[in-house]
Structure formats: structure tokens, C-alpha cells
Amino acid sequence: MSEKDVIQSEVATFAGGCFWCTQHEFDRVRGIISTIAGYTGGAMKHPSYKEVCSGATGHVEALQIEFDPSKITFRQLLDIYWRSIDPTTQKGQFCDIGSQYRPIIFYHNERQHQEALASKRALIESNVVAHVLVDILPASPFFPAEDYHQKYYQKSPTRYELYHAGSGRDRRLKEIWEK
């Protein structure tokens, strides 16, 4: 492999409610190298699912994405992110209520920060939604979730489909984005 063939990947981190659904959404995208479900945004080191679910750690369920910017840009990832969340609430996403499910864009450098701010501004100016309550914050330590959460939609497809169908996610996304 020549130096020219080495992929110069980037990392993006998004919180958008349940990481099972977020991971499933992004795993289908061309240019994504890998995704990891996990926790970020809190002070505790190496929190467990049970600790994060308590809402007391300050962490959110999030997805860390490694992507190939020659195949998909951060801006394109932002577009996918916006259309996979309800940007009008900070109290959770869909059936998952609590601070651990709030939507946040975590940026890893100043370019990502500026692109995230610009995409939020563009969404606000589009008048698609009345208000956008998604925070844009600097990336903080990311802790991978337990193995049984990784690619949950593949490991437990029936349970995942039951959860996804019952979450109200598809109905709400259709209400917001198909106007």
C-alpha cells in the first residue's frame, strides 16, 4: 500500500437519543469506516450503562464515527444527523426521555465547530422547525458502551425492531422532515 492509499480518516461524535438507532442509521452510509456506541459529556470515567441511564453522570448516549472525508464530508454527516433526530427537544429523543438522551453535536476541531454552527443556523433559517434545541459542544472523553450494545440491531434484530417500532421515532421524523 502506498502512502497515497492510506485513508486519512476523521472522527465525528453525535448524541441523538438511543445509540442503537443512531448506530443503525449511520452504519448504512457510504464513507463510514466504523461506528462505536458509547457515552460522553460527563465527568465520570468509564461509566456503565446503568450509571448513565440513571441520568446522574452527565453523560449522553452517543455515537463516535470514523469516516473517510474523501467519500463523505462532515457537513454531509451533519445533514444525516439532523434528519435522524428531533431537534426541537432537549429532554430526550422520541420515547427515551432524560438528560442522557439529549441531542448534542460534539466537535473535534474548529472546522467541525464552524460547520456545525453553520448547519444549525441554516436549519433555523429554513423554518422547517420552530426552534432548534441541539447543543454544539467540544468533544470530551468518549467511553465505548458495553459489547452487547455495539451493533445491537445486528445482534438482536427482533428486539431492536420491536424497540424501534415502538419508539415513535419514524412517525416523529416523518412529521418533522416530510413537510
- CA of 17: how far to CAs of 37, 98, 103, in Å? 11, 9, 6
pLDDT given for residue 1 in this prediction: 47
Contacts of 171 (CB under 8 A, 6+ apart): none
pLDDT given for residue 108 in this prediction: 98
| 130 band by pLDDT with thresholds 50, 70 and 90 | confident
Amino acid 61 reads E
pLDDT given for residue 33 in this prediction: 97
Per-residue pLDDT reduced to its tens digit, 81-120? 999 999 999 998 988 899 999 999 999 999 999 999 999 9
Average pLDDT of the chain to the nearest whole number: 93
Does residue 127 have a pLDDT over 50? yes
Burial state string for 48-67 with b = 16 or more CB within 10 A and e = fewer than 16: eeebbbeeebbbbbbbbbeb
- CA of 99: how far to CAs of 84, 85, 128, 174, in Å? 18, 15, 24, 24
Distance CA 55, CA 102 (A): 11
Structural domains for the chain: 8-172 (3.30.1060.10)
Per-residue pLDDT reduced to its tens digit, 142-158? 999 999 999 999 999 99
Select which of 18, 21, 53, 95 is catalytic. 18
Contacts of 3 (CB under 8 A, 6+ apart): none
Per-residue pLDDT reduced to its tens digit, 60-86? 999 999 999 999 999 999 999 999 999
18 noted as active-site residue: yes
**Lookup: cell for 50:** 446503568
pLDDT given for residue 178 in this prediction: 85
